[in-house]
Structure 1
Amino acid sequence: MSETLPAAVTAPLSRAQKAEILNLVRRAARAEILPRFRRLAPGEIDQKSGPQDLVTEADRAAEAMIARALQRRFPHALIVGEENVASNPGLVAKLAEAETGFTIDPVDGTWNFANGIAAFGVIISMTRYGIPVWGMLYDPLLDDVIEAEAGAPAEYRRGRAPARRLKVSGGGAIEDLGGFASLHLLPEAKRIAMATTFPRFQRLTSLRCACHEFRTFAQGGVDFVLAAGLTPWDHSAGAVIGARAGGVVRLLDGSDYRADRREGYLLAAADEATWNRLRDLWAFLLED
Structure 2
Amino acid sequence: MTTRIDINALAFLLSEAAEAEIRPRFRALGEGDVRTKTSAIDLVTEADEAAERYIRAGMEAVLPGALFIGEESVAAEPALLSKLAQADLAVIVDPIDGTFNFAAGVPLFGVMAAVVSGGETIAGVIYDPMGDDFVLAEKGAGAWQTGGNRPAVRLRATDAVPLSEMTGMASTSFLPAEKRARVMANLAKVAFAANYRCAAHEYRTFAAGHLHYLMYNRLMPWDHLAGTLISQEAGAYAARFDGSAYEPRHLDGGLLIAPDSESWHMLRRKVFVV
What interval of TM-score do these two structures reach, taking the shorter chain for normalisation?
over 0.9
The offset of 1:129, in angstroms, is 2.3
Q: 1:221 aligns with which of 203, 207, 210?
A: 210
The equivalent residue for 1:90 is 79
The equivalent residue for 2:251 is 262
Secondary structure of 2:53's partner? Answer: helix
Secondary structure of 1:229's partner? Answer: coil
Secondary structure of 1:162's partner? Answer: strand
Secondary structure of 2:269's partner? Answer: helix
Superposed CA RMSD in Å reads 1.3
The equivalent residue for 2:242 is 253
The equivalent residue for 2:43 is 54
Q: Counterpart of 1:178 in structure 2: which amino acid?
A: T
The whole-number CA distance in structure 2 between the counterparts of 1:176 and 1:90 is 44
The whole-number CA distance in structure 2 between the counterparts of 1:169 and 1:281 is 20
Q: 1:171 aligns with which of 160, 166, 184?
A: 160
| Number of aligned residues | 274
Pairing 1:66–2:51 present: no
Q: Counterpart of 2:95 in structure 1: which amino acid?
A: P
The whole-number CA distance in structure 1 between the counterparts of 2:232 and 2:79 is 28
Unaligned runs of 5+ in 2: none
The whole-number CA distance in structure 2 between the counterparts of 1:188 and 1:71 is 43
Secondary structure of 2:246's partner? Answer: coil
**Matches of residues 172-187 of structure 1 in structure 2 within 5 Å?**
172-187=161-176
Question: Is the 1:147–1:156 contact (alpha carbons within 8 Å) kept by the matching residues of 2?
Answer: yes
Q: Counterpart of 2:65 in structure 1: which amino acid?
A: H
Q: Counterpart of 1:230 in structure 2: which amino acid?
A: L
The equivalent residue for 1:149 is 138
Task: Deviation per CA, 1:31-85: give whole Å up to 9, x if none.
Answer: 1000010111131000011111110000000001101211354342111100011
Unaligned runs of 5+ in 1: 1-7
Pairing 1:30–2:19 present: yes
The equivalent residue for 2:109 is 120
The offset of 1:96, in angstroms, is 1.6
The equivalent residue for 1:3 is none
Pairing 1:140–2:136 present: no
The offset of 1:12, in angstroms, is 4.5
Secondary structure of 1:119's partner? Answer: coil
Secondary structure of 2:248's partner? Answer: coil
Question: Is the 1:95–1:260 contact (alpha carbons within 8 Å) kept by the matching residues of 2?
Answer: yes
Q: Structure 1 residues 182, 71: closer, same or farther in 2, change over 3 A? A: same
